[in-house]
Amino acid sequence: MNKVDVFKKELSYIKNEKYVECAKNMIELLPDYFFQVPASSTGKYHPEFAQGDGGLVRHTKVAVRICYEMASNKCIGHSFNSDEKDLMLISLIMHDGVKYGIPKAKYVRVDHPLLAAKLIRDNKDNIGLSDGEIDFVCSTIESHMGEFNKDFKGNEVLPLPNNKYQRFVHMCDALSSKKFINVSFKDNDIEG
């Protein structure tokens, strides 16, 4: 399987060619299981399209599409410049990249945003982004869970979003996980 080809449509949303290449480098880092597992290990927290084989990829595609549509909307997107929009798209492509950990665990890891950011930081020399761009992507990934930032014992393990970029990425992810959202797919790409 060509991992990059899975996100061909989503990569076309990125305007800056440098960022397209950087995103490809990051996608290559994703563990193989990412392309096969459901978005939720229990099925409790995601809509039907995000369940079953490839569900995590479909959830990711919907989050990226929401970002693209909202950032393209003149009433909303004016708050971000083109590079910021591109970096948020990249963040959403990678936000659940190691959702089940490395190595793969049976269940979703509550600290998966930190693990995804660590994967990127550990490979920063092979990605092509500046330190500031890496920090932007990683900080939006680390805080993408928003208010769902505690473990099962109530301990705060993830940062809350604290700027407009982090809140925007969280919003895109949160909307893509709502059970009332129904997105149609054909050949693992969003229809329409």
- Burial classification of residue 5, based on how many CB atoms lie within 10 Å of its CB (0-12 exposed, 13-18 middle, 19 or more buried): exposed
The residue whose two tokens read 């099925």 is 43
Mean of the pLDDT values across residues 40-52? 87
pLDDT at 113 over 80: yes
Band the pLDDT of 45: cuts 50, 70, 90: confident
Mean of the pLDDT values across residues 175-190? 93
**% the chain with pLDDT above 70:** 100
What's residue 126's pLDDT? 97
What's residue 41's pLDDT? 80
Mean of the pLDDT values across residues 89-110? 96
- Burial classification of residue 128, based on how many CB atoms lie within 10 Å of its CB (0-12 exposed, 13-18 middle, 19 or more buried): middle
Highest mean pLDDT, choosing among 13-22, 46-55, 176-185? 13-22
What's residue 40's pLDDT? 87
Residue-range domain boundaries for the chain: 3-33+48-183
